[in-house]
Amino acid sequence: MELYVPILVLAVLAAGFAIFSLTIAPFTGPKRWNRAKLDAYECGIEPTPQPVGGGRFPLKYMITAMLFIVFDIEIIFLYPWAVAFDALGVFGLIEMLLFIVTVLVAYAYVWRRKGLDWD
Amino acid sequence: MNGIQPPTIEYGQLSPLLLVFGAAIVGVLIEALAPRYLRKSLQMPVTLLGLVGAFALVLTVVMQGVPTKAAAEGAIAVDGPALFIWGVILVLAVISVLLINDDNEFVASAAAVPGTPEEEDAIAAGGAHTEIYPLALFAIGGMMLFASANDLLIMFVALEVMSLPLYLLCGLARRRRLLSQEASVKYFLLGAFSSAFFLYGMALVYGFAGTVSLAGISDALGAVGGQNTLLLIGAGMLGVGLLFKIGAAPFQAWKPDVYQGAPTPITALMASGTLVAAFGAVLRVFWVALGNLDWDWRPVMWGVAILTMVAGAVLAITQTDIKRMLAYSSIAHAGFLLTGVIATGAEAQNALSLKGILFYLVAYGITTVGAFAVVTMVRDAGGEAGHLSRWAGLGKRSPALAGVFAFFLLAFAGIPLTSGFFGKYAVFAAAVAGGAVPLVIVGVVSSAVAAFFYVRVIVLMFFSEPAPDGPTIAVPSVGTAGVVAIAAAATVVLGIYPEPVLRLAEDAASTLFIR
């Protein structure tokens, strides 16, 4: 049990610090109203007011993020293959090419259907 | 440095799968490169060729002798049952794609909010989502892989490949957009939740067995005899994930909402193909991997099967929407099929149960696609006439269509001389032989309850006065008419002369699942 005591102490310290900071901040900090403070952080849609009937909102950021994930995963697969390239031989090369071609097809789709255009 | 041996991959055995996925990728390329006006006329042949070609490849594999060893280093089992299920899924997929090909069912622009100028513009411009073809192909490929996966990891990947396109397709109905989007979101959230259960269960079972291969789990079971917490919790969670996909109670809540909201051709594909694939996976997990744990899962499955049969049959009575009613009927049928899953024992008994389940899946799948094809043809001003009251008197206005639909309903009820009778008979007979007599009694009673609401629709169609402003019967496209004709013919043939398909199912089942 003694092994867990430091962890417990750390947890109590962390929780105490968080609670202390949040409680003290309204009393010590300056309050200067600014419109930017109520905006969505960096990107994203304005939560209110909503347009009539729900409206449409831009998906640009989300599409970019999703594309990033797709190619990120591609790279993740490429690294171990590149490291063990000579051990994996021709079979590995062909499989990797097939994989890249498949991702390339998705890329071609996004590109042709204007998923990469910002406006 | 040359320590890594390349794996042996039996491309011949896997060729049906590869062809379906290949056709899907070609479909994506068509979407990318072909001009808008050509897309549909290119997609349709590619999709059909892919599916028919894959069916031919399945036959080739069967001709060359059913493999006795799992392919791709034990990851995928192309055994008798898997080949049979592949064939069934491909047949159901071809007729569902004929239904999907009908212009009238899919939205012009899914991103447009229902009832806004954007949507009207998209309709006026003749917009269409031809992506439905490659998406359907990916889903079908996922179904095939799901039913033949021989390790839990592949099974999970297949589950996602099957489900993700279906979540999307559910939201593409042309009319009653909000209902369709609601169906899509509900299916996605609940499906993601059940996938998480499956994944967690898989992790726990891996923690117990040290392997994700079904055969490996079965071997590890021998050592403990079912007294391991990790194993029991893991098996339970795997069960939750799988039973969700077949819509067994208490995980059936998504089915009516999704079936109702989704475009009817997609409902047809889900109700037939997904059910077939999911039963393939259920059988593989519970018979191959957890076969020696049957003392633990059998009581739970008894409860689930009874609950599913009763809930499906009883709740269907209160439904007023034709698609919701068919959804509850599908839940009841999943329950009937579960009685076959429970009836295990010696090898001969397993083969008997498997044969019954396989035949049932064929019979039920084809009739289901036919029934939903009829649903697409009965239309109001606002799209399909879903409410049952609108179907009143249909038999007087359009006797042929109402007759065919009545026939499908009788097949669901399991009346002799329809395919449903032999399906139920085969499964219940196997369950009796397997010692699950009380379960069969519950099954027969719920069948009788179910027959009540099927017959109620028939009475409504033929013995009540048609409403003056009743729904119109759309002139079917060649595809839709073909689907109804094929389904009706199959239901009759399987009901009068089921021997060839029964023998085929018997041959497929005789080898059981390979390990």
Q: Rounded to whole angstroms, how far apart are CA atoms B138 and B37?
A: 23
Specify the amino acid at residue B359: F
Residue B28, min C-alpha distance to chain A (Å): 7
Q: Rounded to whole angstroms, how far apart are CA atoms B355 and B283?
A: 12
Q: At what angle do helices B322-342 and B229-246 cross, to 10 degrees?
A: 140
> Residue A105: which of B1, B2, B29 has the nearest Cβ?
B29
Phi, psi of B167 (to 5 degrees): -55, -45
> Does residue A119 belong to any structural domain of this protein?
no
What secondary structure does DSSP assign to B360-407, as a single string? HHHHHHHHHHHHHHHHHHEEETTEE--BGGGGTTHHHH-HHHHHHHHH
> Does residue A96 belong to any structural domain of this protein?
yes
Q: Can you give the pLDDT at residue B307?
A: 95
Q: Is the Cβ–Cβ distance between B273 and B245 less than 8 Å?
A: no
B10: left (phi over 0), alpha (psi -120 to 50) or beta: beta
Question: H/E element holding B472?
Answer: strand B472-473
3-state secondary structure of B211: coil
A33 vs B298, residue with greater confidence: B298
Task: Find the residue in A nearest to B117 (Cα).
Answer: A55
For residue B210, is pLDDT > 70?
yes
- CB neighbours of B85 closer than 8 A, spacing ≥ 6? B144, B147, B148, B276, B277, B280, B358, B361
Q: Cβ of B118 and A92 within 8 Å? A: no
Q: Cβ of A112 and B25 within 8 Å? A: no
ipTM of the complex: 0.84
> Does residue A13 belong to any structural domain of this protein?
yes
Q: Cβ of B111 and A56 within 8 Å? A: yes
Q: Cβ of A55 and B31 within 8 Å? A: no
3-state secondary structure of B471: coil
Between A58-67, A98-107, B131-140, B354-363, the lowest mean confidence (pLDDT) is in A58-67
A59 vs B43, residue with greater confidence: B43
Distance (Å) of CA B163 to CA B135, B137, B140, B160, B173: 10, 12, 10, 5, 17
Largest CA distance in chain B: 82
Q: Can you give the pLDDT at residue B29?
A: 95
Q: Is the Cβ–Cβ distance between B77 and B71 less than 8 Å?
A: yes
- pLDDT tens string B343-379: 988 888 999 999 999 999 999 999 999 999 999 988 8
Is A102 at the interface with chain B, CB within 8 A?
A: yes
Q: Rounded to whole angstroms, how far apart are CA atoms B338 and B330?
A: 12
Q: Is the Cβ–Cβ distance between B352 and B425 less than 8 Å?
A: no
Can you give the length of chain A in residues? 119
Query: Which residues, listed in sequence order, are joined to residue B149 by a DSSP beta bridge?
Result: B76
Mean pLDDT of A51-62: 71
Mean pLDDT of A25-43: 79
Query: Which residues, listed in sequence order, are joined to residue B321 by a DSSP beta bridge?
Result: B387
Residue A62, min C-alpha distance to chain B (Å): 14
Q: Can you give the pLDDT at residue B310?
A: 95
**Tally: H helices and E strands in chain B:** 21, 3
Question: Tokens for B154?
Answer: 């592949």
Q: Rounded to whole angstroms, how far apart are CA atoms B117 and B124?
A: 10
- pLDDT tens string B285-321: 999 999 888 888 999 999 999 999 999 999 999 999 9
For residue B496, is pLDDT > 80?
yes
- pLDDT tens string B251-283: 999 999 999 999 999 999 999 999 999 999 999
> Does residue A63 belong to any structural domain of this protein?
yes
Residue B7, min C-alpha distance to chain A (Å): 9
Q: Rounded to whole angstroms, how far apart are CA atoms B246 and B473?
A: 32
Task: Find the residue in A nearest to B31 (Cα).
Answer: A109
Q: Is the Cβ–Cβ distance between B349 and B433 less than 8 Å?
A: yes
Q: Rounded to whole angstroms, how far apart are CA atoms B45 and B24?
A: 12
Distance (Å) of CA B10 to CA A100, B70, B78, B347: 22, 9, 10, 28
Is B8 at the interface with chain A, CB within 8 A?
A: no
Q: Can you give the pLDDT at residue A54?
A: 63
In chain B, what is the straight-line distance between the N-terminal and C-terminal CA atoms, in Å?
33
Mean pLDDT of B132-149: 96
> Does residue A17 belong to any structural domain of this protein?
yes
What secondary structure does DSSP assign to A21-75, as a single string? HHHHHHHHS-----GGGGSPSSSS---SSPPGGG-----HHHHHHHHHHHHHHHH
In chain A, residues with a C-beta closer than 8 Å to the C-beta of B113 are: 53-56
Please choose, from the candidates B87, B11, B101, the residue with its C-alpha nearest in 3D space to the C-alpha of residue B56: B87
Q: Cβ of B31 and A113 within 8 Å? A: yes
- pLDDT tens string B385-443: 888 888 888 888 889 999 999 999 999 999 988 999 999 999 999 999 998 899 999 99
Q: Can you give the pLDDT at residue A46?
A: 67
Q: Rounded to whole angstroms, how far apart are CA atoms B30 and B216?
A: 42
Give chain B's mean pLDDT: 91
A45 vs B293, residue with greater confidence: B293
Please choose, from the candidates B148, B513, B510, B515, the residue with its C-alpha nearest in 3D space to the C-alpha of residue B349: B510
pTM for the full model?
Answer: 0.90
B337 vs B295, residue with greater confidence: B337
Q: Rounded to whole angstroms, how far apart are CA atoms B382 and B394?
A: 18
Q: Can you give the pLDDT at residue B413?
A: 93
B117 pLDDT tier (thresholds 50, 70, 90) = confident
- CB neighbours of B220 closer than 8 A, spacing ≥ 6? B208, B209, B210, B211
DSSP state of B272: I
| Alpha helices in B247-293, H assignment, sequence order | 254-261, 264-269, 275-283
Question: H/E element holding B473?
Answer: strand B472-473
> Residue B1: which of A86, A108, A113 has the nearest Cβ?
A86
> Residue B31: which of A54, A84, A109 has the nearest Cβ?
A109
Q: Can you give the pLDDT at residue B22?
A: 96
For residue B225, is pLDDT > 70?
no
User: A17 is in which domain, residue-wise?
Assistant: 2-112
Is A55 at the interface with chain B, CB within 8 A?
A: yes
Indicate which of A105, A107, A111 best probes the interface with B, i.e. most B CBs within 10 Å of its own CB.
A105
Indicate which of B8, B113, B133 best probes the interface with A, i.e. most A CBs within 10 Å of its own CB.
B113
CATH number at residue A28: 1.20.58
Q: Rounded to whole angstroms, how far apart are CA atoms A40 and B22?
A: 43
Please choose, from the candidates B178, B192, B62, B26, the residue with its C-alpha nearest in 3D space to the C-alpha of residue B116: B178
Is A87 at the interface with chain B, CB within 8 A?
A: yes
Q: Can you give the pLDDT at residue B268?
A: 95
For residue A7, is pLDDT > 80?
yes
In whole angstroms, what separates CA A79 from the centre of its chain? Answer: 21
Domains held by chain A: number = 1
> Does residue A106 belong to any structural domain of this protein?
yes
For residue B1, is pLDDT > 60?
no
> Does residue A117 belong to any structural domain of this protein?
no
Is A53 at the interface with chain B, CB within 8 A?
A: yes
SS3 content of chain A, % helix, strand, coil (to 5): 70, 0, 30
Question: Tokens for B304?
Answer: 């689930």
Question: Tokens for B273?
Answer: 């193909």
Task: Find the residue in B nearest to A109 (Cα).
Answer: B32
Is B117 at the interface with chain A, CB within 8 A?
A: no
Q: Rounded to whole angstroms, how far apart are CA atoms B302 and B481?
A: 40
3-state secondary structure of B214: helix
Q: What number of other Cβ atoms are within 10 A of residue B121's Cβ?
A: 13
Residue A106, min C-alpha distance to chain B (Å): 7
Cis peptide before A49 (omega within 30 of 0): yes
Considering chain B, what percentage of its residues have pLDDT values greater than 90? 70
Three-point CA angle B409, B412, B417, nearest 5°: 90
Q: At what angle do helices B419-433 and B478-496 cross, to 10 degrees?
A: 50
